[in-house]
Amino acid sequence: MILRSEPVFSPRPWGNRKLNEIYAVDSIEPIGEVWLLSDIAGMRTPLKRDVEVHYPEEYNEVFCGSKAPRFPLLVKYISTTDWLSVQVHPDDETARMLEGEPWGKSECWYFTSNGKIAAGFKEKRLPEVIGPDTLNYFELEPGDFVGLPAGLVHALGPNSSLIEVQQASDITYRTYDWGRGRELHVEKARKAIKPELSPKIVRNMNERIEQGFFSITPAESVEGTGLAIVIEERPELFVVIDDSFSRQKPFLWITVEMGNLYV
């Protein structure tokens, strides 16, 4: 049995109208994030098969082996036309301390287009002002992988498209927002930042990469381009990026067979 995720859409000031077009979504602000798999309240993604509807929380036991507060991963497709804020996500301990949340947010990006990021401090120390001038810059190409551990200051650049796989947390502390006027969270950010960290960049990813409690690898069992995500050696999740049925329109599917799930 194949369950296909029903995406949830998040408009953003830096978003890309391309996402509105390929997913046929109307919004005042352009869509910036397509949530492909989520158990976050208000953004839960239904998993559908014909008239049946399921939700990620139903499969915690299959993927985690124990009851978790919610499904442990959040998967998104992101496309930009402008810089995202300079930001940081807390680790688990800091998330519990500052927000009462069970998890912080480590994440990784698989680029489906050329892109640019700013990540990690040039001088490996916490500056007085946390802005773009203090960060290192990197150019990315399709197929490149970037690991961003919790506590790493970073920003995603314009004209970038990628699949994001992260812990199931939506905690973000902005320190600089390019004059957009949105709320900044400098005090909390300073408590969450680990200035010694750098991004993990793997060019043209072609092998399995361990990323905390999950791993990610190019998927060989889908037509076209896809990613296989494995949580603690449990069944795989497949994110199909480009296949013969849905060219350049990322989606996520799950196969349920004899008690096992494959996305």
* Whether the predicted pLDDT of 92 surpasses 60: yes
Give residue 243's pLDDT band: very low, low, confident or very high (50, 70, 90).
very low
pLDDT digits (tens, 9 = 90+) for 25-51: 999 999 999 998 898 989 999 888 778
pLDDT digits (tens, 9 = 90+) for 111-129: 989 999 999 999 999 999 9
Choice between 243 and 225, residue whose per-residue pLDDT is larger: 225
Measured distance between the N- and C-terminal CA atoms of the chain, rounded to whole angstroms = 11
Give residue 215's pLDDT band: very low, low, confident or very high (50, 70, 90).
confident
Tell me how far apart the alpha carbons of residues 19 and 44 are, in angstroms, rounded to a whole number: 19
SS3 9: strand
- Contact by Cβ (8 Å): 22, 251: no
Give the pLDDT score at 67. Answer: 65
* Whether the predicted pLDDT of 8 surpasses 80: yes
The answer to whether domain 2-205 has CATH 3.40.630.40 is no
* Whether the predicted pLDDT of 246 surpasses 90: no
Instruction: Return all residues near 118 (Cβ < 8 A) that are at least 6 apart.
Output: 86, 132, 135, 136, 137, 138, 154, 155, 157
Q: What residues does each domain of the chain span?
A: 2-205
* Whether the predicted pLDDT of 179 surpasses 70: yes
Mean pLDDT, range 246-253, rounded to an integer:
52
pLDDT digits (tens, 9 = 90+) for 133-164: 999 999 999 999 999 999 999 999 999 999 99
Amino acid code (one letter) for 219: A
Q: Report DSSP letters for 149-192, one per residue.
A: -TT--EEE-SS-EEEEEEES----EEEE-TT--PPP-HHHHHHH
Residues labelled as active-site residues: 174
